[in-house]
Amino acid sequence: MAPTHLRRGLNMMFQLAPTLGIFSANMINHGTSKLNKWGWRLLLGLAASPALLTRLQVSNGLS
Average pLDDT for 6-26: 87
Please determine, for residue 55, whether its predicted confidence score (pLDDT) is greater than 70. yes
Predicted confidence at residue 35, as pLDDT, reads: 80
What is the predicted pLDDT for the residue at 63?
56
pLDDT score recorded for residue 23: 94
Tell which residue, 43, 63, 44, has the closest CA to residue 53: 63
The pLDDT tens digits of the residues spanning 17-51 come to 999 989 998 888 888 888 878 888 888 888 888 88
What is the Cα–Cα distance from 48 to 35, expressed in whole angstroms?
19
